Chains A and B, each alone.
Chain A
């Protein structure tokens, strides 16, 4: 497995509280991604990064922000968590800059419950 870790792995939080999820990679890849996975929707892209301080929105970015101050870390923040953000969150990396292949490698996921 690619060197990707996510923390925390599980979190329960209350509506209205801020939450930050961390993705850490040891592969030195430029491209990193945050997805959420919900029943009936598959995986949907929240935000992605194509380098330090370079980020952009995915298809479901409302209510989320990201930061990438170092190559190895990509943070996802829910400024004020809502119950609709209860989900499993996956981080992924891509070796796109090294070879012409678009595969992504996923972290183990964070299960977030907003009560």
Chain B
């Protein structure tokens, strides 16, 4: 089945610094989603990307889907302590209603 690899596994930043996490696949993806999980919480859907080269923004978060639809990134500008958590990229694994999660990037922010 489809798999996605995420890097880095961990990232620690000072508040106000930018943060980027990357998601890569060896196969072409039909779509990619991003989720955030706060410590002790459950995954929360952030966004879905479908089109080649797509860029979407949510306030300080910028999501990109690569031209070849094999990679994606999430960039946070000027991190805040509320950004702490694990960010997962997720792809449709085989059939569109089954999701395969990457292992996530744990972001910690030093105030």
- Chain A residues at the B interface, C-beta cutoff of 8 Å: 31, 33, 35, 40-45, 48, 50, 58-59, 90, 94, 96, 101-109
Contact = CB atoms under 8 A, between A and B. Distances in A.
A12 B33 CA distance: 33
Nearest to A31: B97
Interface residues of B, number: 21
Contacts of A107: 42
Task: Enumerate the 8 nearest inter-chain pairs by beta-carbon distance, A residue then B residue, closest first.
Answer: A106-B42, A103-B45, A42-B103, A43-B101, A42-B101, A106-B43, A96-B97, A109-B42
Contacts of B43: 43, 90, 104, 106
Nearest to A96: B97
Interface in B94-111: 96-104
B48 A44 contact: no
B103 A40 contact: yes
B31 interface: yes
9 contacts: A35-B101, A90-B43, A102-B92, A102-B96, A102-B97, A103-B33, A104-B45, A105-B45, A107-B42
A17 to B, nearest CB: 26
B36 to A, nearest CB: 11
B101 A102 contact: no
Nearest to A97: B97
